[in-house]
Amino acid sequence: MSNLGLVCSVLCSRSRTASTLVLISLFMYFLGPPLLGWCIDGAVSENWVGANSLIVGGTKSFIELCYESSVLRQLSLILTSGFSESPWGFQFWTNLMAGVLFFLLASLCFNRFALTEVSTDPGRGLVSKKRNRIFSPGRAWMQALAWKDFYFVNGGLGMALIKHICYGVALFSLCAYISYTSRSYSLQEMGLTVFWTMLIVVLIEISLISSRIFHVEVQWKTLVSTAMLPQSMAQIAYAKVFGSMLAVIPAFFYLIIGGLLGIEEMTQDLGMVLAEPGLWLTCIEILFFWHLTALLSTFIKWGALPLAFVLMWVGNMVFFFSMSMVIMGGGGGPDVFEAVTILFTLFLSASIAGSHFMINERLTY
């Protein structure tokens, strides 16, 4: 894994791009074989390919080799009782050879990639050239910071159009696949599929925005010059939020379409769902996660989003573990758990309000 990071750091000019490439590689290595096996099983069940065909056999053999070379599988085998195999097995030698190959590749590519001077200026995003007036930034808006963040941080109209097309193609393919593999797939079910899919996309997009909304100012130390504008720091922050949220319009567009198509199904048990304290706790936790990510981005240049995720995960684990211990110890029942959930929701709501003041103080000083 260290030599994989070495190769990516040599090939990529920025550490952010290198870390992203490492994450994609690890994702493909650990989750690629299960997804490929699922696709093969689906193709066989639909009689698209024969179960005994060369493609299916070769793919399954490749997946099995990937499993055998996985360090996670080797650790699970070692930790099981009665393990008597040699630790210097197939996984050890394949990972060792992969590490050596990555090191040699990094050495061969070093002079070509690492010695090339790259500009360290802030990126401009996907901004069109002046000859394309439709997607070019044009003149600044009345809210200049919102204009700047929309075009030069989030890509502007060009990126919005790309998102619109990509989301539409992905949703159409997903609905077409479900409709083909299901006997009945109504318009309402299609709307629910679009709604829940785009809700996840919206949550991910806003999480990414919250991690980089103050990132450029912190990284390039432009907070001092930004604070010289004839506006309060709160107005500056809200203008940046407004400009960044414009980039989520394509996702919101498909989210609203999905909600309108499946509105009858969604409103059947709406009253019961809104009465659940767990729903409000989830919503407040998401809002608190965004604020925590934005707050952490004012302290560190990189890693605000994963750090906020880890802190939220640890906090939730401690909370639910404590509640389960109290309930198992006879200290209360569902009513007590519901009451504590409401109190925890109120605490997180107060924390969201407090994070506003902390972000303002951090940006001001």
For residues 16 and 10, is the Cβ–Cβ distance under 8 A?
A: no
Q: Return the pLDDT at 116.
A: 57
Q: Which of 167, 163, 170 shows the shortest CA–CA distance to 126? A: 163
Q: Please give the angle made by the CA atoms of 245, 250 and 252, to the nearest 5 degrees.
A: 70
Q: Is the pTM of this model over 0.85?
A: no
For residues 155 and 226, is the Cβ–Cβ distance under 8 A?
A: no
In sequence order, the 6+-apart residues with CB closer than 8 A to the CB of 233 are 227, 360, 363, 364
Residue 99: band (very low, low, confident or very high) from pLDDT cuts 50, 70, 90: confident
For residues 189 and 262, is the Cβ–Cβ distance under 8 A?
A: yes
For residues 223 and 217, is the Cβ–Cβ distance under 8 A?
A: yes
Q: Return the pLDDT at 206.
A: 92
Side chain identity, residue 22: V
| pLDDT of 79 strictly over 70 | no
Q: What DSSP string runs through 177-223? A: HHHHHSS---HHHHHHHHHHHHHHHHHHHHHHHHHHTTHHHHHTT-H
Instruction: Name the least confident of 270-279, 287-296, 352-361.
Output: 270-279
Q: What is the pLDDT of residues 209-261, one digit of tens each?
A: 888 888 777 777 777 777 777 778 888 888 888 988 999 999 999 999 999 98
Q: Which of 241, 261, 123, 110 shows the shortest CA–CA distance to 198? A: 261
| pLDDT of 89 strictly over 80 | no
